[in-house]
Structure 1
Amino acid sequence: MNNRRNFIKNLGAVAGMAALAPEALAFAEPQKLWFEISLAEWSLHKTIFNEKKLTNLDFPVVARKEFGIGIVEYVNQMFKDKAKDTAYLNDLLTRCKDNDIKNHLIMIDGEGGLAETDAAVRNKAVDNHKKWVECAKYLGCKTIRVNSFGKGSAEEVAKAAVEGLGKLGEFAAPVGINVIVENHGGYSSDGQWLTGVMKQVNMKNVGTLPDFGNFCIKRSDNSEWGGKCVEEYDPYKGVQELMAFAKGVSAKTNDFDEKGNEAKMDYARLLKIVKDAGFRGIIGIEYEGNVTSEYDGIKATKKLLERAGAMV
């Protein structure tokens, strides 16, 4: 009987809360998302590279104080000569500790294609990446993001990718670092091609970083990034395929409509694909737009992730 009375009492309290004005309910605890949000340093590349208003050392501080984000993803270009500089890395770690920052991954560019069909060139690229594996370990990261670039037929580059990623994965495994490939132009933006490579590599610490917006597989000048995109892989199909091997997700945004949605991507649909794949990890904000400022673009992307994430 007491249990029944308590139930009715509690039910009445809930009904009373429901009758409150919407503005009163706005003070309720926000719903916890099924994923964590990180900030990719590339979102601030103009501020760092072009405007020289920030440095890599400032990045984790800005992530916390400006955006309320406690997980970061570095870009090696921002500190390319510091991979073995322990004094510099210790300074960075101190700033992370002081701001309660978790280091998640380092995005590696400019160290050579791990799918080059020339074995000597490919092996040099593998060696170039090893210092970043060690740097990631030192900083407490779990992962490095690499590129599977190479010249040749799809089959030739895939074979080379399996060899290059396999060698780097073998080096990274004993120190507990993941090696993940982003759909980042060329063959890598073909979901079937990249998942085929992953199946052949077949290593626990080698996987993918599905990026919502990088599915251009052919450009007008045949480069990875230079020319206009003339052929694009279905992004929803691609994300679904790559999620089978995902160890992270990159939430790319460019422009927003008047409602705050990404202008060309259905974020609710993309996040549902991610959730349905069983992913409960870290999704990184990577704003690349030109209309909105980097700071405002990051804030808009965070709001979009929170809103769309709560819908699915």
Structure 2
Amino acid sequence: MRLIAASTYSFNQLISAGTITQLESISLAKELGFDAIEIVDLIHDNQLSDQEYAQELRNELNRLEFPITNFTFGADFLNGSNGNFDEEVAHVKQMIDIADILGAKSVRHDATSGKSGYSFEQVLPTLVRGCLAVTVYGATKGIMTMVENHGLFSQDSTRIEALYAAVNHPNFKLLVDMGNFLCVDEDPTLALSRLAPYAGYAHAKDFHLKPGQDSHPGEGFFQTRGGNFLRGAIIGHGNVPVKQCLTILTLAGYEGPLAIEFEGMEDNIEGMRISLANLKRYMT
């Protein structure tokens, strides 16, 4: 049976409030019954270097005998590092070094948030150069690199498929997030069916969806690119067809981990507890 990981992003409510640290979220995930952890960014007080903090996280993982399934961080080959492409590539390579310290065998970096006045097709060659440079580097360390359907500009399944095809490297895969397709108003089942064959990792996520023709539902909701309204949900409580998405991944041959990424307004612990129970039920 595949591993179910908790994304540390799912505990951001508690981490931001200072109730727990990112380090403590690892033991919390294990207490909740998860099999593993996905670490998102490095959140620490800067008294340690990133390398020292990564080693501290690795020591905690070893102490708990709790595996890491992925290291996720941001990147932008158009706008990052003040628009300096070479510096942004170097930054991503440094984060791959951090992944190596953590013991992660895969990373997710973003491609870009877009650039005003430019289409995806126009910037695609630059994105390909960036993704190819870092995946070649990752391969030397045995670390697979991925981009995710994430960030509106780089979220459509057709755009991500085009990027994947153009990079065309065996160490480059996709992190497919079944919920994120709704951010660009795509049907999750159709979009996931397109990308599932290229998946190196997968997020389980749910959203409450309300049509854009209605009045704004209020606090907690954000708008999709097409003006619909979304709010993070407990797995099984929202409008994402989670069970069918699991079937799509299975039919495509994906047998890797699933990480729950919870973005709801509910208490993080209760939200993750119920999400895990529902996901396990859908997998049986």
Same fold? TM cut 0.5: yes
Task: With the length of structure 1 as denominator, give the TM-score of the two structures.
Answer: 0.76
Matched, 1:304 2:278: yes
* Residues matched between the structures, number: 256
Label 1:63 to 1:117 Cα distance change in 2 as closer, same or farther (>3 A). closer
Aligned to 1:269: 244
The Cα shift of 1:242 comes to: 1.6
Could you tell me the percent identity over the aligned residues? 24
Cα deviations by residue, 1:238-267 (Å, 9 ceiling, x for unpaired): 1111212111100113325xxx72321111
Aligned to 1:39: 6
Label 1:188 to 1:81 Cα distance change in 2 as closer, same or farther (>3 A). farther
**1:116–1:157 CA contact under 8 A, matched in 2:** no
Alignment match of 1:236 (pick from 164, 189, 199): 189
Alignment match of 1:101 (pick from 66, 77, 94): 66
The Cα shift of 1:232 comes to: 1.0
Written as runs of structure 1 = structure 2, the 5 A alignment for 1:145-294 is 145-149=108-112, 150-151=114-115, 152-216=118-182, 231-253=184-206, 254-256=232-234, 261-290=236-265, 292-294=266-268
**2:106–2:143 CA contact under 8 A, matched in 1:** yes
Matched, 1:75 2:40: yes
Alignment match of 2:77 (pick from 101, 114, 120): 114
Q: Which runs of 5+ in 2 are unaligned?
A: 207-231
The Cα shift of 1:80 comes to: 8.9
Aligned to 1:15: none
The Cα shift of 1:77 comes to: 4.5
Instruction: Determine helix, strand or coil for the equivalent of 1:204.
Output: coil
**2:3–2:35 CA contact under 8 A, matched in 1:** no
Whole-angstrom distance in 1 between the partners of 2:119 and 2:48: 33
Aligned to 1:52: 18
Matched, 1:127 2:90: yes
Instruction: Determine helix, strand or coil for the equivalent of 1:186.
Output: coil
Instruction: Determine helix, strand or coil for the equivalent of 1:261.
Output: coil
Task: With the length of structure 2 as denominator, give the TM-score of the two structures.
Answer: 0.83
Cα deviations by residue, 1:18-45 (Å, 9 ceiling, x for unpaired): xxxxxxxxxxxxxxx3x21001011001
**2:138–2:145 CA contact under 8 A, matched in 1:** yes
Whole-angstrom distance in 1 between the partners of 2:80 and 2:269: 40
